[in-house]
Structure 1
Amino acid sequence: MSVADSPSAVTSTPLVCVADLERAAADRLPPHIWDFLAGGAGDESVQALNRSALDRLRLTPRVLSGGTATTAGRLLGHETAMPVAVAPMAFQRLIHPDGEVATARAAAGAGVPFVLPMLSSRTLEAVAAVGGDLWLQLYWLRDRGLLLDVVRRAELVGCSALVVTVDAPVMGRRRRDIRSAFALPPTVTAALLDGAHGRELHRATANGSALVAHTAANFDPSADWSDVAWLRDSTALPILLKGLLDPRDVALAVRYGVDGIIVSNHGGRQLAGAIASITALPPIVAEADGRCPVLFDSGVRDGADVLCALACGADGVLYGRPVLWGLATGGGTGVRTVLDLLRDELREALTLAGCPSPAAARGLAWASV
C-alpha cells in the first residue's frame, strides 16, 4: 500500500518541538518519498547553511513592554493570526491521501494563508473550496496559454495573490532523487496541469529523476523580466516574486510592478553554493526601503526563527517542511498542530523580547555571532 493510500497516524504525545515530528515523519514515509521531501541540491550544504546562519543570529531583548504579546499581523493587506504563510510544496498526496486539501484546511483554521503549489496533487478548485486565504504559486511554463489558464482559474476561485518562483529555470541537481530514480505513483498527478504536461512525472529517466524530465519539458529557462511585465499586464492579482537573493533584483522587481518579494534560496534545493536566505534578507530589505513587502523563506523551524526574520526586516515568513512533517504524521490535524505550536512559540518569543506585536520586532537590535 502506498503512502498516498494509507491512513494517517495521529501523534499520541504532546508536541514539544517540530524536531520530534521530523523523526516521526522520517520513520513513517518510504525512503524515496522522505528523500524527496527532505533532500536538497548537491551536497545539501545550503540547507545546513540556512540553519547555521539562523542559529548564529542573536537578538537584544527589550523589557517592561507591558504584557503578553499578540502574534496577529497583516500580509498583503489581509489580517492573519501571525505573519506566516504556508510555503508551496509539491505533490502533497505523496505524504497523505488528502494532500493539499488537508493542508489548506489546517492553514485556514490557523488563520494563515496557504500557498498552493503549481505542482499540486489536488485541483485548484478542490483546495479553494475549503476556504481561507489562498495564494497560488506559478512557475514559468513554456506553454503560456496553459499558464494564463491557471491564472484565470485562480482569479475565478478567489485566490488573493500569485507567487511566481523565479529561481528554478531548471531543476537543481538533487542527488537523493537521482539515486532513488524518483517518479510519482499512478495515484498522484500534477492536478493543475493537463495530462499531456504531466506524463513525464510517472517515468524514471536516464538521469534517474522523473521530476527533472518534467521540468525540462515544461519549464521555460528563457523567462526574463519581460515575462514579469506580461504577467503584470495579464492580471490584477498581487504578484510576489519568490527566490530573490541579490538586492540588485529589487529595483527591477519594483520597476515591473511586483507587489512583494520573497527572499529565498528554495530551501537549499536549487543552487548548490547559494548564500543563506537570512544573510540575503537585510540588504534586500534596505534596498526595498518600504516600496514593497519583503517576506522570508528557507530554514524556518520555530517561533524564534520567525522573530529573527522579523527583526532583520521581514514583513512575514513562509513556513515549509515542518508542515509536511505534520501532514505525514497526522494529516490535517498534524498540520494544524504544527501551526498552533509555531504561533505559541512566536507569542512567547515576542513577549520575552519585549515586543508587543510582530511589527515591534523591527526595533530589536540583532547581530550574527
Structure 2
Amino acid sequence: MNVIADLTGRARQNAIYAAGAFGKRPTVPTDFPELERRARRAMNSRAWAYVGGGAGEGTTMTANRRALNRWAIVPRVLRDVSERDLSIDLFGSRLPAPVLFSPVGAGALVRHDADLLIGRAAAELGVPYIFSNQGCAPMEETAAAMDAVTPGSPRWFQLYWSSDDDLVDSFLARAERSGASAVTVTLDTTMLGWRPQDLNIGSLPFARGQGIDQYTSDPRFREIVRERIAAGAGGPTPQITGPRSAAAGVATLLSIARNAPGRLVDNIRSPEPRAAVQTFLDIYSRPTLNWDDIAGLRSRTSLPIVLKGICHPDDARRAVDAGVDGVLVSNHGGRQIDGAVASVDALPSVVAAVDGRCRIIVDSGIRSGADVFKVLALGADAACIGRPHMYGLALGGADGARDVVANIIAELDLTLGLSGQTSLRDLPRDALQRVD
C-alpha cells in the first residue's frame, strides 16, 4: 500500500479517468446510493443489519439526511481558486483534510481483520482512524498496521466507559502507549438502542465473541474474567430446543472460541472465552456515568478529551466547563434513539454554546464532500465518516475503505474551489443558505 500524497479533486479525477481509458472502473462507486446498494449485496444479513441498520423505524437516519439537504451551497465566482488548502490543525496534529474514520464496532462482520484494514486505509490518506473500543483487533495491532504504512500516522481511541474503573484506566494507558492523539468518550451508548434489524434475526455480534478484542487483550479484563470463573460465573449456555437450535448453539460456541486469543482447540476446552463474552456483556457500559466522572477524567489521561454524543447546547456548555478539548455532535448515526434530533440540526446551537472554547466535530449522515463542506460552514472543525467507509471495506477491503474516503476528500476540494473559497478554515456563513 502506498501513501496518497495528492488528495485534490483534480488528482483523484485524473487517476480514475486514466484508469478508465484502459477499461478499468473504480472498485467502489463514487456516489453514495450505488455504494450502499452494492455493499448491501456484498454483506451477509448479520453484517448488513448491524452496519446499515438503525434504531426503531430509522427516522433519525432519515432526519440526518434531511438536515443536510436543508442547506444549499451558495457559489461565488470570479475568484482565484487555483490554490486551495484543506489542511487543519487538530489537537497538535496537522491533518491534510478535516476528515476522520469513525469507530465502528464488530467490523469483522464485514471483513476479517477489519480494524487493521481500516487503519491501513486511514494511514494511506494521513487522516485519523478512531480505534473502536468494540473493535475486532487489539489497538496495539491496529497501531502497528498503521505505522507499517506511515510511522506515527494519526489515530484516536474511542472509550466506552466500563463499570470497572480499573479497566477504564487500563484502556486509557494502552491508548497512550499506542500513540493515540485524543480519546473520544462515547456518551450515548450506556445501553444499546432498540435496533429491529438486529433483533429480528437475533444477532448480537458481541454474544458471539465478535467486537470484544480490546477486552480480551487487556490484562485487567482477563483478571476480571478469571475472578468470575473462580467465583463460579460461567459463560453463556445456548438454550437447545431442537436440531436447528443445537446447530446454532454449536456455531455460537465455535464463533466465541474462534474469536478468542489463542488456539481454537484450547479455547473450545477452556471456560475462559465463554466467560469473557458474559463478562463483556455485564461490564462494557456504565449507565450511571455522569458529569462527576467526566470532571475526574483529566486526572486519568494526558490525552485531549472529546465527548461524543453531544446534541444539546447546555451539555456543550457543561462539557467546556468541565475542561474537555472537544465535543462530537452525534446521534450515533441514528442507531440509538428513533426520532432523535439530527446532528446537523443540533450543530448550530452547539457551535453558539461552545463559542470557540473547544473544537467541534460532527458525524451522522455525512456521505459526501459537499456534506463535509456544509458542516464546516456551519461551524464544525472536522467531520467523521462512518457507514461509507464500511461499505467501501465490504467491496474492496483496505483499498475500498481508502478510496471511499479519498473520494469524499476529493469532492470536498472541488466543492471548496467551485464555491469560490480557498480555505476550509473560517468558511463564511453566507457560503450556505437555508432552503426550508
TM-score (norm 2): 0.77
Corresponding residue number in structure 2 for 1:75: 90
Q: Given the alignment of the two structures, is residue 13 of structure 1 paired with residue 25 of structure 2, yes or no?
A: yes
Distance 1:278 1:24 in 2: 27
Residue in structure 2 matching 1:118, options 116, 122, 133: 133
State the Cα deviation string for residues 8-46 of structure 1 (Å, max 9, x = none).
xxxx62233133221111001111210111111111110
| Counterpart residue type for residue 172 of structure 2 | V
Matched, 1:191 2:191: no
Say whether the 8 Å CA contact 1:71–1:358 is kept in structure 2. Answer: yes
**23 and 212 in structure 1: CA distance in 2 versus 1, 3 angstrom threshold:** farther
Displaced runs of 4 or more, over 4 A: 195-204, 210-217
Name the structure 2 match of 1:99: 114
Shift of residue 256, structure 1, vs aligned partner = 1.2
- 2: CA distance, partners of 1:120 / 1:365: 37
358-367 vs 256-265, which moves further: 358-367
Q: Distance in 1 between the 2:60 and 2:210 partners?
A: 29
Question: In the alignment, is the contact (CA less than 8 A) between 2:212 and 2:280 conserved in 1?
Answer: no
Cα shift at 1:141: 0.6
| Cα pair 1:183 1:202 within 8 Å, conserved | no
CA-CA distance at 1:63 after TM superposition: 2.3
Task: Answer yes or no: is 1:155 the counterpart of 2:180.
Answer: no
Q: Distance in 1 between matches of 2:352 and 2:369?
A: 24
Q: Between the two proteins, what is the percent identity of the paired residues?
A: 36
Q: 2:158 maps to what in 1?
A: 137
Letter in 2 for 1:13: R
Unpaired segments of 5 or more residues in structure 2? 1-23, 148-152, 226-233, 240-251, 253-276
SS in 2 for 1:71: coil
The answer to whether the aligner puts 1:222 opposite 2:288 as a matched pair is: yes
Q: 1:275 to 1:51 in 2, by over 3 A?
A: same
Please tell me whether the aligned partners of residues 296 and 317 of structure 1 are also in contact (alpha carbons under 8 angstroms): yes
CA distance in 1, matches of 2:427, 2:72: 13
User: In structure 2, do the counterparts of structure 1 residues 215 and 257 end up closer, same or farther at CA, with 3 Å as the change threshold?
Assistant: farther
Q: Name the TM-score, length of structure 1 as normaliser.
A: 0.90
Deviation at 1:347, TM superposition (A): 0.6
Name 1:352's counterpart in structure 2.
Answer: 418
Q: Give the aligned partner of residue 339 of structure 1.
A: 405
Say if 1:365 and 1:22 are closer, same or farther in 2 by CA, change over 3 A: closer
Q: How far apart are the structure 2 equivalents of 1:217 and 1:83?
A: 34
Contact 2:99 / 2:409 at 8 angstroms: preserved in 1?
A: no
In structure 2, C-alpha distance between the alignment counterparts of 1:214 and 1:272, rounded to whole Å: 26
Q: In the alignment, which residue of structure 2 is the partner of 1:3?
A: none
| Equivalent residue in structure 1 for 2:305, among 229, 239, 255 | 239
Amino acid at match of 1:118: N
- Aligned-partner residue type, residue 91 of structure 1: A
Residues paired across the two proteins, number: 354
Distance in 1, matches of 2:65 and 2:281, equals 28
Q: How far off its partner does 1:174 sit?
A: 0.5
Q: Distance in 2 between matches of 1:368 and 1:313?
A: 18
Q: Which residue of 2 aligns with 1:88?
A: 103
Distance of 2:211 and 2:308 partners within structure 1: 24
Assess if the C-alpha contact under 8 Å between 2:369 and 2:408 holds in 1.
Answer: yes
Paired residue type of 2:37: R
Q: Deviations over 1:103-140 (max 9, x none)?
A: 01111111111001100001110011122211000111
